[in-house]
Amino acid sequence: MFAKFQFTFFSWLLLWVADCARSTDNVVYPRLLEARGLDAEKVLYIQDDVVLRLQKTSVLSESFVFSENINGRRVDRIMNGKELEANMYHDRNQMASVNIEETNGGVKVKGILSDTLRIAPLDIGARSDDGPIPHEILKVEQRAGISGKYKVGPEITSSNNFYVELKIVVDDYHNSAFKTTEDLVQYFALCMKLVNIRYEDTSNPRVQFLLTTVEVAEKDFAEVFTAPDVDCPSRSQKRYMDPVLMINKTANVYGKSEEDVTVFVTSVDLADNFDGTAYNHVMGQAKLGGLCKDGRRR
């Protein structure tokens, strides 16, 4: 039995650049290689120790909905999910998920290369109109306590898939990092493909997520507070999000959405608030048992 999930809270989805350590030495020039004879649609060379054997990604619904609040009124925009994910590929063995745009003899690559590495084109105005495009590899600085690299099991083809319709609600802090709506949606699609790879281990049925909606929450919707920076004491104050207040508020507003699962995403660090002191051991929060309650979807 599956049901409508009242609310799940994730803060681990990482921006292309946010929370990454920049290195001017790690400039690469990705290129596509001949894939003939390999079980891959594309082979992408990043550098000698990073070569991706890519398969096509499909994680968005065909009639995808983007929602935003304009002057207190929700406005829905229907987008073509297949067009949005047309250039998305993944390498399940390396847990990589990337968007590839071929242009003027080069390729632009952005996305996730591994648990700790991200890639994005460098904004260099002096580049010629054709030829290789410089990119930088960014290393994600993960908090202590996060487990090591996920080991992917053998790929198993299954016709017994259960597709869970997913809605992502994003706050203004996270949304402001993206230049366009398309960038925001594609970012979530790349992340959700890696989630689906992990869920391939489920069986009877095998669970896969279908991203149907992304909604930008109203401005000032987030429940935040300021407190001394736990990780950098030399900085006087830092903004944190209260996960308890946030999950209850989001459940009240979005708990009866049509989708099976609703996820709230922020780029603000989560922390429990004890009398103005932040305890930032929180990585996410969910309503216990929200997915399998009686009287919900069967």
**Model confidence over 86-133: pLDDT tens digits?**
999 999 999 999 999 998 878 999 999 998 899 999 976 645 566 789
Q: How many CA atoms lie within 13 A of 134 on its CB side?
A: 12
The string of pLDDT tens digits covering residues 269-298 is 999 999 888 998 888 888 776 655 544 443
pLDDT at 283: 84
32 confidence band (pLDDT: 50, 70, 90): very high
Q: Structure pTM?
A: 0.84
Give the pair of three-digit tokens for residue 27: 């400039």
Where do the domains of the chain lie?
Answer: 27-141+158-221
Give the pair of three-digit tokens for residue 77: 């925009």
The string of pLDDT tens digits covering residues 233-243 is 777 889 999 99
d(CA 102, CA 31): 9
Segment 158-173 shows an average pLDDT of: 88
> By C-alpha distance, which of 202, 200, 217 is closest to 257?
217
**By the 8 A CB rule, do 176 and 184 touch?**
no
Within the chain, residue ranges assigned H as helices are 81-84, 172-175, 181-199, 243-254
Q: Is the preceding peptide bond at 205 cis, omega within 30 degrees of 0?
A: yes
**By the 8 A CB rule, do 97 and 194 touch?**
yes
The string of pLDDT tens digits covering residues 182-208 is 999 999 999 999 999 999 988 888 999
d(CA 69, CA 218): 6
